[in-house]
Each structure stands twice: as structure tokens, then as C-alpha cells.
Structure 1
């Protein structure tokens, strides 16, 4: 069996960040929006560093303006993911990009996204669930509006809250109100930390927001006490190796700490983050890790079982996913 054929679970995928450049170009053409300067000569996204990446990301998402646009995006994402062997994925959705974090407009966008996801599940067997995502550099007040959207639509499809954006802006605890609102609505919690913010941001996420998963989290390796805390609390890391290398966090995949964290006993999973931006796919991530750390199919089966058990879906869905993982 090839790595592409191996059934996979992905927990860290940004909906807008997974937009194929071809779709964004087509939408820009249809809407007469000038996106010159955000693409490379070979058609990919062009950025120089993390700050520039955020700017290009927001420019690209500016053409996603209607529920129908997001339905088309959802279809494209799930076709691509299914082709990589993904059987279950959780996607980060930002109400700020879906109706300006207005609950009524958000419901319309969400209905279109969910309908497209249901159609993809029928066509390809892939299951998607949504995690509402406040944008950190938009500030705590905007996060409250996003969290309200999450709380008002919490259920079988919207299963969590997870903050993205510029990790260097403010502190995790500044967003405690939004996370408390989501928690009270029964949503599960994750947040980006331990990427550019260092180990301290992971401590803040664990202690101030009381999350059960961490987006990235790899800088935790720099603090042995923190590593032990993650193990003790059974907090799962949503690791995106290709993203970390592409954004300059590590010089090469061989320098990435995922193997060190896994061998220490931390629950680690593998995801793509924003795959078109980083010229990657989940299959490519597996192949790179296999080459760097001599991991084989059995190693990835364990990682995928870890991911399935850390997923925010209901238990019936989890059982279905685990059964799919056992088929190969």
C-alpha cells in the first residue's frame, strides 16, 4: 500500500487556506477583483514570511464573498482531501470571512458549506466537521462575535472553537471570554500556540484557555516541563511539519521536533495547515516524514488512530472513522 492509499485523519486544515489557487483566480475573474502580486509565476501563492503570508491569505479570501463561493470551495477541498486518502477532516472556519461574524449571515454560509460537505460525503465517503475560528489579530472583541456564531450553531457539524491568526498579538488569556462562551455551548477547544509564540504561548493556552488540543505546539519541545505537562493532561498536538518548514520555523524536515515529541510520549498528529500555500498534501507530509525519520505505515496508522480519538466529533462518527482506519 502506498501512503496515498492509507486512510487518514486531518485535524488542522484552514478552510480558506485550503483554497486551490485556480479557484481563487476564477472567482477573482468573475468578480473583477485585481489579485495581481499574490501569485507566483507557476501559479502558486507568493509570500516572503509569516506576516506577508497572512496578508496574501486575506487578499485571497477577499474573493470568497457569498455562501455559494464557500460551497464551491468546500467541494474543491473535499475532492482534494479525498484523493489523498483522507476519510475524516476538521476544518477551521472563520465567521469573520463568512458574513462579517453576523449570526444570521453566518447561518447562511454555514448551510451552504454543510450542504456541500454532505454531498462530498455521499460522493467520496469523506466526513468533514467544522471548528469556528476567531482571528487573533482581529482582537478579543471580534473573537466574542465569532464565538457567538459558534455557540448559536453548535451541534453535530460545528464541533469546536479554535483560534488562528498572528500568534504574536496579545495573549491567549485575552480571549478567555470567547472560549468560555464556546465551552458553555458544549464545544471542544483548541488554539494555535507554540509556533511563533514559543513555549510560553502553549502554557497560556493550557492554563488560561484550558484547551484539549493545540494547533502546532511544536515549540513545547524547548521546555521539558511543558512536554511533561502535555503528556500528563493528554493534550494532543495538531502538527503541520510542512507548514513549519515553509514558514522558516525549522530549516528542514529533518530538524523538525515531531519525532522527539512523539518519542517522549506526547500525542501528535499530522496535518497540512494551508496546503496550497505550502505546496504540500497529506500524502506528501507522510512521505517527507517517512524519509526523515524512517517512519512506516504502522507509525502512520498509530498517528491516525490518535487523531481519530482526539477528533471533536460525536462518538458515533468517531466509531465510523476508526472502522475506516482499520480497513487497511
Structure 2
């Protein structure tokens, strides 16, 4: 097609490389951060028979077909996730996972990573709950020192388990706050377990100086986000996208300065939205809600951190200046110390000052 002047179509606008944009990664699950090749190698090492759907996805490079908007679909997603987690059996496997997660984040421009983990899931093979958390924290500390990536841990309770288990985890998380634990979360199917059932666990975590960062507003609607605010005094919301359905709730999030950890590829893969263009990034942006884009579980969803910024650019028309502001919001919403924040924010300004490629 010719332009109106009779010449060739104008060149697309020049843009900067989002993998070079300094940013913080605040929504990455432990097992879900693994490289596909690592899962396959560990499965072979330990004789683990992976589900055919998972093996096919990992070998083909195409994420498995998932749809978790009903209980059966969530069960299938969880089955694949549990199968991958069963390949983590020794200290060295944990160290490898953490090292590779850091390497992938560095390639995507991350300067700060808060990786989320429920240590009870790894305790049976790592000698118990406390040894499991200590092994994870040691791996994070060593990897951070050796790679230069700022890394911390967010301990997450499981909605599917008893609230007393969450209290135990909250106390443990507080105990290790000086070893790299910065927050406390609540994950798994948000249709199960009311937020208020876990209010005491989150009170323990907050009183111990940890961020409150529960999941909400993904598989259920705005009420889930309100519950996280009212019952758990959330500083951040894991996902939170369904808040877009309630303008009053959006205003409340913006006024309180709560950061939503938005994971566009994950939302589409799980069937929350049909296509990337449907994820309400613009709605949250226009309402002044702070966002931190995250990859969630790249092992199963097929894309890592920089790809989420590409979705914002190509599916929602975010300019480089707007992408830079998204990166700033991720840094401001993090638990990074002030010197790290200052360095990353200066890096964002430098990225934006460069001429587009």
C-alpha cells in the first residue's frame, strides 16, 4: 500500500530495546522460573515421568494449552506445575534454579528480583521446612553476590491449606527477614480460601516488617482485590487486573499507592482474557494505578520479563516514555534499598535519553 503522498509506507516509529530498560521483577514463582531444558534434564536424572502435555510443551517450545478459569482447568495447570517441581530434589538443583532465574532476568534488563516461594512445597526433599528455606536463601544470597542482580525472597502461603499453616510460614518469614525475606504472599486458586481467613498470618508478617503481597483479582473479580486491601492490608496485589471492572476500586488502589503485579502473558495463557489486547493495562494506567509487569511462571507460559513490556508496547501502544514509567513503578513498588532504587531509576532515565535504535 502506498502512502497518501504516493511513496512507500512510512517506517514504523523507532523504539528502544526493552531488554536494556532497567526494571524490577516482582512477580516470579520459584518452580515457574525454571528453564525448560533444566526440567527435562532433571527429570531424566531422577527418572521422573513428566505428563505428556508438559514434555511436549518443553521440547517444542510451545507453552501447554491451559485454561484455569474453571476448577478442572486449574487442577490441570497445578498438575503440570507439581510435576515440574518434583524434579527439584537436591541442594544443587535449588542453586541451579536460582542461578538460571537470575541469568534470565539479567538478560531482560532486571536489576532487582523478588522471587516467590512456598518452602513447604520443597521441605520433604530438602530436610524440612527450615532447611528448605535456608537452602533457598543461601542460593539467593550467593547468586546475587556472584551475578550482581539484587535478589530477595517473598515467602507465600497457600490458599488451599489451613490458615494455621500460613501463620507458621509468616513467623518463619519474619525470622529470616535479615537473611533476605522481604515480603509475605498468598497464592494458588483465589476461588478457594477467603482472604480474611489469613488475616492473622498477614498481621504477623506486617508486624515483622514484611511487605503484604497477596494474589487477587485474577481468577475472580474486583471483590478479591477489595478483600486483599481490607483484610490483608496489601501493599501490592499479585495480578489485580480484575480491579479494572470497578472504577471506584481503581481510584482506591491509586490513592493508596498499591502496586499491581500485572502478568499479561499469564492472564492470556490461563484464559482470564482471550488475547493480549484484552488485558486492561490501559485502564489501570489511565486510572493512575501503579503496575509492575511480571512473568509469573515463564516455564508454563512461555515468556519472560522483557516480553511483558513488548506486550505493553505492541498490544497497547505504550510509548518508550510510558514503558520507562512502568519500569519506574516496578522499582518504586519493590523492597529494594534506596541505593539500588536510585541506581535503577537513574538507569531508566539514561535508557530514555538514548536515541531509538
On whether the aligned pair clears a TM of 0.5, the verdict is: yes
- Name the structure, 1 or 2, with higher relative contact order (CA <8 Å, separation 6+): 2
Question: Whose radius of gyration is greater, 1 or 2?
Answer: 2
Displaced runs of 4 or more, over 6 A: none
The CA distance in 2 between the partners of 1:77 and 1:10, in whole Å, is 11
Q: Which residue of 2 aligns with 1:95?
A: 119
Match of 1:34 in 2: 49
* Distance of 2:187 and 2:124 partners within structure 1: 16
Relative to structure 1, the CA distance from residue 120 to residue 298 in structure 2 (aligned partners, 3 Å threshold; closer, same or farther) is farther
Q: TM-score, normalised by structure 2?
A: 0.85
User: By how many angstroms is 1:122 displaced?
Assistant: 4.1
Q: 1:48 aligns with which of 38, 51, 66?
A: 66
1:325 counterpart residue number: 348
- The aligned counterpart of 2:98 is 74
1:129 partnered with 2:145 = no
2:140 maps to which residue? 117
Structural RMSD (CA): 2.1
Offset from partner CA, 1:86-123 (integer Å, 9 cap, x none):
11111101111231599x84443344334433443344
The structural deviation recorded for 1:11 is: 0.8
5+ long unaligned stretches in structure 2: 1-15, 69-73, 352-357
In structure 1, list runs of 5 or more residues that go unmatched: none
CA distance in 1, matches of 2:93, 2:341: 29
Higher mean displacement: 229-238 or 65-74: 65-74
TM-score with structure 1 setting the length? 0.93
Quick one: distance in 2 between partners of 1:271 and 1:36? 26
Which residue of structure 2 lines up, in the alignment, with residue 160 of structure 1? 183
Give, in whole Å, the separation in 1 of the partners of 2:133 and 2:214. Answer: 21
Measure the CA separation in 1 of the matches of 2:116 and 2:266: 16
- The DSSP-based 3-state class of the residue aligned with 2:20 is coil
Q: 2:35: which partner in 1?
A: 20
Q: Is the 8 A contact 1:95 1:106 kept in 2?
A: yes
Q: Deviations over 1:204-226 (max 9, x none)?
A: 10001111110100101111111
Query: 1:268 deviation in Å?
Result: 1.5
Structure 1 residues 1-328: aligned runs within 5 Å? 1-37=16-52, 38-40=54-56, 42=60, 46-50=64-68, 51=74, 52-99=76-123, 105-155=128-178, 157-328=180-351
SS at match of 2:308: helix
Displacement of 1:47 after TM fit? 4.8
How many residues of Structure 1 are paired with residues of Structure 2 in the alignment?
327
Aligned to 2:355: none
| Aligned partners of 2:26 and 2:334 also within 8 Å | yes
